[in-house]
Amino acid sequence: MHELRKDPLMSRWVAVLSDSKKPEEYVLQPEEVITESNCKFCAGRENEIPYEIAAVRESGSQPNKSGWWARVIPSSKPILQIEGDLGRRGIGMYDKMNSVGANEIIIETPDHNKKPEDMGFEQMVRIIKLYKERVADLEKDSRLRYILIYKNSGREAGTLYSHPHSQIIATPIIPKRVKEELDGAKQYFAYKERCIFCDMMREELRYGQRLIFETKNFVAFCPYAQRFPFEFWVMPVKHSCAFQDIAADEMNDLGLVLFTVMKKLGTLLNNAPYNYVIHTAPNRIPRRDHWHTLGEDFHWHMEITPRLTNMSGFEWGSGFYVVTTSPEDAAKYLREA
């Protein structure tokens, strides 16, 4: 089993894999060309990959058979595994635990050459429905502290497969990046008695120059102090800390927003690689008493970051980002795409 180790200085956890790579394995190899003929994620090859956890299917179709619109399977090379106990322990001054958690892959389309946004906003809604279903199921496990939905599109963004897919990872700790957001939101609420995310959204709607797209239930905008060029966020208008509480009409609206902005992004940046993540509330089941203000001070949201530039030593060493296109200009280009 892999193990999780805690950095005592930065208070963050890292995963150390049990099967260490050799130096020669880090040499970048030519990318393997995966087509419909050899892609195991394509419809009709369901028996060649792990069992189906969940799916959105055509009426009358059977699990692990064709006839699906989108489906979820366990990762074949998980960093975290669902079996076992945490086994928290100390090694001298250091702390570590077993890599208990969950790694799941959402296969977003049955067609290798079609992105979900190419199939209409209804397909985006199907994927959102699976996201909600899986988060609601995984949060029942009291060993798991956080559930992250993310997507890597393009080799530079860290993708593993060329077939359209996203992933869910459930961890026994709250990742440092998420904890920073939680702490910042809590401090802001303690000072102003308002949700910082709601205030950000109201300001973007008032100012308008960083706004990309809006519906009754969602707003897409470039953040005032974005980290990467053309980074944008999608946020629900209604205050809610937990993504899995999304209602049916909100899922339809979110599907429309993602369909629209992802089409714009692909058109404008020629299908550049990107990542997106959904930041939602931690799992409140293990520590309900700890999160007594979470419903007031945190607001779930999506962060979409195109990978257009490489980070320099200055950025890595300082955490001080240099943005080469202003958020106001980026939003203008995206609105007009």
Percentage of the chain exceeding pLDDT 70: 96
Q: Which residues contact 150 (CB under 8 A, 6 or more apart)?
A: 166, 167, 168, 169, 275, 276, 277, 278
Residue pair 135/149 in contact by the 8 Å Cβ criterion: yes
- For 72, the domain range is 3-336
Q: CA 275, CA 260: separation in Å to the nearest integer? A: 17
Query: What pLDDT digit, counting tens, does each position of 64-76 carry?
Result: 999 999 999 999 8
pLDDT at residue 217 greater than cutoff 70: yes
User: What are the strands of the beta sheet with 94-98, ordered from one edge?
Assistant: 12-16, 3-7, 94-98, 89-91
Q: Per residue in 15-61, pLDDT tens?
A: 999 999 999 888 876 666 677 778 999 999 999 999 999 999 999 99
pLDDT of residue 335: 97
Q: What is the CATH number of the domain that holds 261?
A: 3.30.428.10
Among residues 302, 200, 206, the alpha carbon closest in space to that of 255 is found at 302
pLDDT, position 292? 75
Report whether pLDDT(7) > 60.
Answer: yes
Range 254-279 burial, b when 16+ CB lie within 10 A, else e: bbbbbbbbbebbbebbeebbbbbbbb
What token pair was written down for 190?
A: 């303690």
Q: Which of 16-30, 40-54, 180-194, 264-278 has the lowest mean pLDDT?
A: 16-30
Provide φ and ψ at 187, rounded to 5°: -65, -40
Q: At what angle do helices 121-138 and 248-268 cross, to 10 degrees?
A: 120
Mean pLDDT of 295-313: 96
The structural domain count of the chain equals 1
Query: Residue 269: pLDDT above 90?
Result: yes
Mean pLDDT, all residues of the chain? 94
Q: What angle do CA 32, 37, 118 make, to 5 degrees?
A: 85
Per-residue pLDDT, 308: 96
pLDDT in tens, 127-169: 999 999 999 999 999 999 999 999 999 989 999 899 999 999 9
